Structure 1
C-alpha cells in the first residue's frame, strides 16, 4: 500500500519579528557589478561531457576509488508520474569512475527508491573509502534513504532505511478526487555529520510532503537507525548543517519552499534540535541553500536562491547568534514577473583561489551557469561581485558541484544537464605562477563551510 495517507497540514507557524536591511542589486547593479572580458573569466567550457541516467537532479563529487581524481555521482530522477504506477519515476544513481585525468567509465547504476533527488558522500562505515547516501522523493518501496557502502573495486553494497508510517502526515496538494499527488515523506535533501558526538556519521533530511525534518542517528551495526522527526511547517526543501553560533554543536538551516521562509534549529550536541529562528526568505519558492562566510567576518552566512520569477539570490549575514537581519539581494533577471533563469542549484565557495567565497548558480530555464566572483576587500556589506555567465547551447543546468578534475590547482565545476542526461565540465583557469592577491584581513577568523550540495 502506498504511503499517501491524508493528514492535516501543520497549522503552527513560528512568529518572529525581523528587520531586514537590504541592498537591492536590481537598482544598483552598476555600483556593484563589473562585466568581465572572456579572457578574464574564471571558467571555460572544455568540451568534456559524460552520459548519465535520466534527468539528473543532483551531482556529488568525491574520490571513490583512491586514485586522486574526483569521481562523479548523479541522482537521476527521470520523469515523475502518478505514484500508483508500477514505475512512477526513475530509480537509478549513476557512478562514473575516473580512469585518468578527465577520463571516466560508468559502473552499473545503483538502485535507490523512485525519484532519487539528493546526494551526500562521506565515510559512513569503518572502511576507508567514501560511501554514497541517497534521498528519494517518491519512495513507493518505502526505501526513503539509501546507503551504498563503498567496498572497493567498483562494488557498492546497498542498505535501505524507511520512516515508520505513523510518523508521517501528508501536507501537500491533492487531485480532483482529494487523493495525495505525492508520497510521504518526500525527501528532497540530505546532509551528513556527527550531530550527537558519538563518532558515528548521522544523516538529516527534509521531508517536503510531510513538513518534517528527519534525523537518522548513526549506528555501529546498521549504519543508520530509525529516524526521529520534528515539525518544519512550510515545505522544507533544502537543508544545511553548520555550527552557526560557535558552541561546537552542529545546527540546521532549511529553506521552506511553500511558505517562502528560512528556518534554523539549534543543535544540542546530543542529536536534539530546537527552533532558533524563522524569517522570510525575501522571495518566492526558496529552494537551493548554501552556507559560507561570505563577508569574511568569522560568522557563517546563508545563501538562498529562489526558483520563482524573482530569479534572485539573497545573502543573509549571520551575527553568530542566529540573527540574520542584514541581507543582500542579487537579482539575475531583468523583470520580476517573468521566469528568466529558474535557479535550481547553488554553491558558495572560493572558485578562483583568492580566499574569497564566490557564488555559482545552475539556471534551468536560461540554460546558464551564472557565477558571481567576490570582489570585496574587507568584511563590510554589501559585497561587490563580478558577474559571469556560461551558456550550454540549449541544455538545462540542474545542479553543480566543485572539484579539481585535472589536478592543476584550479577549481572546476561539474554541471548536471537534466535535459541532455549529461554532466559537463567547466574548466577553471589556474593562476599564473607567482601571482598573489592583496587581501584585507577579515575582522575575525573565517569559519569553515560545512555545507554539502542537494
Structure 2
C-alpha cells in the first residue's frame, strides 16, 4: 500500500516536496531540495502486531496499514511513501508501511508536529510533538463490554427515558415515562454500590396520572439552574411540564397544550435565540410537528405549527442543519414514510420545509449530529418496517447522501449517537422492537460502520439514550422495554488493549551529523510499560536488515546517550525507532508525549555563518 501523506506547514509555506523512487530514497541525504520552514505537520502510521489491534486514541482517519507478527520490514511487503522534505540538516517524512498476511485490524494515522531546533552548542534536536487533542499517544479502548443493570422493574409499558442531573449532586439521574402506568418518574443516582459494584437508584414519582405517558425530557424551563421535566401524554393529548422544586420534588403538572391529539414525542430547544428553552413536540393523530415559545417564567405561547398534514408525525429533533446560527427542526412521519427538515429563517418566525427522504418505510426516530467530523450536521433515522438504520451525510450545502448503516435490524425503532469508544468519532446506538435488541455501530470513518450487540431479549426495546451514568467519562446506554416493563441500563466498561506498538517513520540526516541521544517524555503508571527500540542503516535495504537495539527504560522521562545507542551507529544516515506500549491493568495505559533525537554537527560551518580568521 502506498500512501502520499498530506504535508502542511504550521507557519509559512512549504517550499519544496518531491516524489522519489526507492533507489532515490536510499540516496535521500544528497537530494538538493530547498529548505522549508522548520516546523512541519505530517501524517504518521500506527502499526499492528500479530492478532492484537495496536491503534491509539487519536482523532484522525482510519487506514489499513497492517504489520507482520514481529513488526519487521520485508522487501516483498514494503511500500514506500515517496515524499521527502529536505530541511537544513534532516530529511523527514520518508514513511514506510508494511503489509502482511497476519494483519488483523485497521490502524490509524495521527498528526504530529516535527520541530528542528538549532542549539548554541552545535547540537540539533529533531523534536516530535503529538497533536491529537490530548497531546499524547495511548492504547486505544476498543474492547467495550456492556454490563446490564435494571433501573426499574414493573414500570408498565415503559416508553421513554432521559438522563440529567435532577438534584445537582454531580451524578446523572434518570427520567422515565410509562404508558400503561400513566407515570412520569425519576430515579436518583445513589452512586456505586460497593457490595454489588452496580449503580444504585431510588425511585421518585413526579406524576402518577399522566394518561398514556409516552415521552419525557429534562430541561431547565424557567432558567433557575435546575432541570425541570416536560412530557407528552398520548391519551390525554397533552404537552405538560413539572417545575423542579430544587429539593428532589416537583410541582403539580403545568399544561402547555391540552388538545395536541396523539401527543407522542417531546423535545426542547431554543428556537428563537432568546435564551429560553422552547418546547417541540410531535402528534401522530393531528399529524403535526409544532413548537411552543417559552416567554419566560414557564409561560408558553399557543401552539405554533411547523409541519402540518405530516401523516403519522412520530418524532422531532433540533439542530443547526444549515449552519446559520439558529436551530432548525427535523421530524419523521411514520405513515407518510418521510424524513423532513424545516429551515429556521430566524427567531422561529418562519420555517421552510425540505425533504431528506420521502420513501423511508415507517420512520420512528430522527437524530442529528456531525457523524463524519466535517463540521456539518448529518441525519440519522430508524425505519421500523424497513428494518433500517440510515445516515444521510450533509455535503455542507444541505444536500444529503443516504448511507444504509444496517437493513437487518428488525423493527428499528429509535436511534441515537455518542462516541462510545472515545476515538473522536460519533457512533450509532439503536433499539429494535421486533428483534428485542439494542446495538451499536462503531464508526470506522468514511461512511463505514460495524455492528455490535449491547443487549438481547429485552422485550419491546423502543427507545435509546446515552449518558455517563457511573461517572467514568464513558457513555452508558439507557433503554425502556415496553413488554418487559423495565428500564435497562448498560454500563459501558471499556478496557485498553493490552499491548501496542508505534513504529516511527524513517528519519534521515546529513552525512556529517552524529546521533548523540534519544529521549522521550510520557506517563508510565504502575504496571504499565513503554519500551523503546532503535535501529539504523545507510540505506533502506540496510535499515530493514538491521536488528532492533534495546529495549530501553520505561521511565516517564528517559534519555539514551550516544554510547548506549551503539551498536546503532551514530553516523548512519537513516534511523528508525519503535515504541512498545504495554499494560497489565486494562483500565490504564502508558502515555507518550514527545520524542527527541539529538544530533551533533561539530565541525560544521552553519548556513549563513562566516568563518573567523
Same fold at TM > 0.5: yes
Contact kept? 1:218, 1:225, Cα under 8 Å: yes
**What's the secondary structure of 1:366's corresponding residue?**
coil
In the TM superposition, residue 321 of structure 1 has moved relative to its aligned partner by 1.8
Partner of 2:22: none
- Residues 1:368 and 2:368 aligned together: no
- Residues 1:352 and 2:477 aligned together: no
Distance 1:251 1:34, change over 3 A: closer
Taking the TM superposition and a 5 Å limit, the aligned residue runs for 1:254-333 are: 254-270=381-397, 272-308=398-434, 310-324=435-449, 326-333=450-457
Distance 1:32 1:222, change over 3 A: closer
Partner of 2:332: 206
The 1-side partners of 2:407 and 2:591 are apart by 27
CA-to-partner distance for each residue in 1:260-313, whole Å, 9 max, x for gaps?
Answer: 01111112334x2322311435431011211011112111111111111x2111
Partner of 1:136: 283
The 2-side partners of 1:205 and 1:130 are apart by 18
In the TM superposition, residue 379 of structure 1 has moved relative to its aligned partner by 7.6
Taking the TM superposition and a 5 Å limit, the aligned residue runs for 1:165-176 are: none
The 2-side partners of 1:278 and 1:34 are apart by 28
The 2-side partners of 1:222 and 1:294 are apart by 33
Distance 1:46 1:365, change over 3 A: same
Distance 1:35 1:124, change over 3 A: closer
Contact kept? 1:251, 1:264, Cα under 8 Å: yes
The 2-side partners of 1:203 and 1:301 are apart by 22
In the TM superposition, residue 118 of structure 1 has moved relative to its aligned partner by 1.5
For structure 2, the 5+ residue unaligned runs are 1-104, 106-143, 150-192, 499-585, 593-613
CA-to-partner distance for each residue in 1:194-216, whole Å, 9 max, x for gaps?
Answer: 11121121001011111111111
In the TM superposition, residue 164 of structure 1 has moved relative to its aligned partner by 6.2
In the TM superposition, residue 185 of structure 1 has moved relative to its aligned partner by 2.0
The 2-side partners of 1:442 and 1:247 are apart by 28
In the TM superposition, residue 50 of structure 1 has moved relative to its aligned partner by 2.8
Distance 1:341 1:379, change over 3 A: farther
Decide which of 223, 228, 235 is 2:362's aligned counterpart: 235
Partner of 2:207: 50
Contact kept? 1:107, 1:154, Cα under 8 Å: no
Which has the bigger relative contact order, CA under 8 A and spacing at least 6?
1
In the TM superposition, residue 35 of structure 1 has moved relative to its aligned partner by 7.7
The 2-side partners of 1:345 and 1:362 are apart by 6
Contact kept? 1:53, 1:76, Cα under 8 Å: yes
The 1-side partners of 2:231 and 2:394 are apart by 30
- Residues 1:116 and 2:233 aligned together: no
Taking the TM superposition and a 5 Å limit, the aligned residue runs for 1:10-21 are: none
The 2-side partners of 1:68 and 1:224 are apart by 30
Contact kept? 1:53, 1:93, Cα under 8 Å: no
Contact kept? 1:255, 1:263, Cα under 8 Å: yes
CA-to-partner distance for each residue in 1:331-381, whole Å, 9 max, x for gaps?
Answer: 432xxxxxx62112211121111011111111121121111111112389x
Contact kept? 1:63, 1:69, Cα under 8 Å: yes
Contact kept? 1:161, 1:226, Cα under 8 Å: no
The 2-side partners of 1:223 and 1:34 are apart by 46
Contact kept? 1:234, 1:257, Cα under 8 Å: yes
Contact kept? 2:340, 2:354, Cα under 8 Å: yes
The 2-side partners of 1:240 and 1:189 are apart by 9
Partner of 1:431: none
Distance 1:33 1:344, change over 3 A: closer
In the TM superposition, residue 151 of structure 1 has moved relative to its aligned partner by 1.1
Partner of 2:56: none
- Residues 1:249 and 2:406 aligned together: no
Distance 1:33 1:185, change over 3 A: closer
Root mean square deviation of aligned Cα: 2.8
**What's the secondary structure of 1:371's corresponding residue?**
strand
In the TM superposition, residue 113 of structure 1 has moved relative to its aligned partner by 2.7
CA-to-partner distance for each residue in 1:51-103, whole Å, 9 max, x for gaps?
Answer: 3521111111111112221100011111xxxxxxxxxxx42012001122212
Task: State how many pairs are aligned.
Answer: 317
Distance 1:152 1:280, change over 3 A: same
CA-to-partner distance for each residue in 1:100-132, whole Å, 9 max, x for gaps?
Answer: 221211353122631112122111113221111
For structure 1, the 5+ residue unaligned runs are 1-20, 22-30, 79-89, 166-183, 334-339, 381-436, 444-454
Partner of 2:298: 154
CA-to-partner distance for each residue in 1:133-152, whole Å, 9 max, x for gaps?
Answer: 1111111xx6x122111112
The 2-side partners of 1:255 and 1:125 are apart by 28
The 2-side partners of 1:355 and 1:222 are apart by 35
Partner of 1:127: 274
CA-to-partner distance for each residue in 1:143-167, whole Å, 9 max, x for gaps?
Answer: x1221111122210124225466xx
